């Protein structure tokens, strides 16, 4: 069974100062995992993890990863702005966007970021935006078809909107080389949230062989290969977690089999593991405030889908611990729900849990990535606070909860608004 990284007593202490719901993050777990990733790929001299800012865009958390030489993978203007404000230099910023506004290319270039072109037409867009092509460029690859491992089909790149076809990629390298690009990179994301140690080694083999062919055919100098994300976490308690050291060793074997004999043993490897880096080290803490007995048994909590969209959007499983009842029998079947005017606002459906009473704290696991960041304001619901549980047992609010004033702030241009709210 999954175990919370903190206690009921600590959460009650925090809740006396910061009202539920809130997202809480485990500094100790984040640091241990970042170190493990660094060690797993230490055999590659140029290795760097570019944390996917979209997963958890909080500077307090990203600064922890910065201590382990992680960079930022950005996909929008505000993510670039955040990374720049935090002092990341260009070598530590990867700009991987799609359907990209020209001003975002300019911002990325201003920061010196590595620009990862998602589409062949991005060459023209980039040149129009900047007036030139940077000396270092990455291109995103989509092989099409299905991507399969020994345990079955993992995903369908052919249905993905991301990346260039094989022919487009070769054409892009030729054109970019003619335009003066001196350093090339390849990027690909072929499957999401894989809970298997096979994914990165298999992806590596595809990209390493492609890199050798590209360099031989086009003469382009490939200096880095970005394996992107896709290394997942076990949301369900019966799933076996990935072992990042086994994964790193698997990639090393492929690297020595494919790249080293081709004279490409100096190619740096990059990753963008937002979910793996942060997911298990965050949780949504919410309190039971209501119960309803009709055709099913419902427990209403003070969080809702605006605090954690994944169950409503994907039907995603997030494990729930009723704090203080970890050892009690799971002999009650509940739907755990929020208060939105939408019937998919459910954190669990027909979930066997201990008996829940009003006032109980529920710890919803694995929300450290794509949890808070996917929030929204439907029904006028406000964003929650974020809290960092420090290694020494203390805690710090790292984002305050949103207020009604924040919610209405984009109306502050209006005299009618100011009159309405007495301003």
Catalytic center residues: 341
Cα gap 117→121, rounded to integer Å: 9
Are the C-beta atoms of residues 371 and 387 closer than 8 Å to each other?
no
Number of other residues whose CB lies within 10 A of the CB of residue 89 = 12
Q: Tell me the CA end-to-end span of the chain in Å, nearest whole number.
A: 52
Are the C-beta atoms of residues 15 and 361 closer than 8 Å to each other?
yes
Residue 211 to residues 137, 198, 222, 259, 263, Cα–Cα distance (Å): 14, 20, 7, 8, 11
Angle, vertex CA 67, rays to CA 62 and CA 70, nearest 5: 60
- Residue 390: left if φ>0, alpha if ψ -120 to 50, beta else—which one? beta
Residue 393 to residues 265, 291, 369, 396, Cα–Cα distance (Å): 44, 33, 22, 10
Residue 290 to residues 139, 234, 287, 336, 404, Cα–Cα distance (Å): 51, 30, 9, 10, 24
Asked whether the CA dihedral 307, 277, 264, 205 is positive or negative, the reply is negative
Cα gap 74→72, rounded to integer Å: 6
């Amino acid at each position: 069974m999954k175990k919370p990284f903190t206690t009921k007593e600590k959460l009650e202490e925090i809740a006396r100062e910061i009202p539920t719901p809130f997202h809480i993050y485990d500094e100790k777990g984040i640091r241990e995992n970042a170190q493990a990733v660094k060690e797993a790929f230490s055999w590659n001299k140029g290795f760097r993890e570019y944390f996917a800012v979209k997963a958890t865009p909080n500077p307090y958390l990203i600064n922890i990863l910065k201590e382990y030489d992680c960079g930022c993978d950005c996909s929008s203007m505000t993510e670039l702005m955040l990374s720049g404000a935090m002092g990341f230099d260009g070598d530590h910023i990867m700009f991987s966007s799609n359907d990209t506004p020209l001003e975002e290319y300019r911002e990325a270039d201003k920061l010196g970021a590595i620009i990862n072109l998602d589409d062949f037409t991005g060459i023209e867009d980039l040149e129009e935006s900047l007036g030139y092509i940077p000396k270092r460029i990455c291109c995103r690859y989509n092989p099409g078809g299905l991507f399969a491992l020994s345990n079955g089909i993992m995903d369908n790149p052919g249905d993905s909107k991301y990346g260039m076809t094989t022919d487009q990629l070769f054409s892009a390298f030729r054109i970019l080389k003619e335009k003066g690009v001196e350093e090339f990179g390849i990027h690909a994301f072929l499957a999401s949230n894989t809970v298997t140690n096979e994914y990165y080694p298999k992806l590596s083999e595809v990209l390493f062989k492609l890199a050798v062919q590209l360099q031989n055919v086009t003469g382009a100098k490939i200096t880095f290969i970005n394996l992107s994300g896709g290394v997942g976490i076990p949301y369900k308690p019966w799933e076996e977690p990935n072992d990042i050291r086994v994964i790193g060793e698997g990639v090393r074997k492929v690297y020595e089999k494919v790249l080293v004999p081709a004279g490409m043993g100096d190619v740096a490897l990059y990753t963008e593991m937002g979910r793996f880096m942060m997911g298990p080290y965050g949780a949504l803490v919410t309190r039971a405030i209501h119960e309803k007995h009709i055709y099913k048994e419902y427990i209403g909590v003070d969080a809702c889908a605006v605090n954690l969209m994944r169950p409503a959007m994907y039907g995603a499983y997030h494990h729930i611990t009723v704090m203080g009842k970890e050892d009690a029998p799971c002999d009650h079947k509940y739907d755990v729900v929020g208060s939105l005017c939408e019937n998919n606002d459910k954190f669990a459906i027909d979930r066997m849990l201990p008996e829940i009473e009003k006032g109980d704290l529920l710890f919803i696991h694995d929300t450290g990535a794509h949890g808070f960041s996917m929030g929204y304001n439907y029904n006028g619901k406000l964003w929650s606070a974020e809290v960092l549980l420090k290694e020494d047992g203390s805690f710090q609010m790292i984002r305050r909860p949103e207020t009604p004033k924040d919610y209405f702030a984009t109306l502050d241009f209006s005299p009618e608004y100011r009159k309405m709210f007495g301003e």
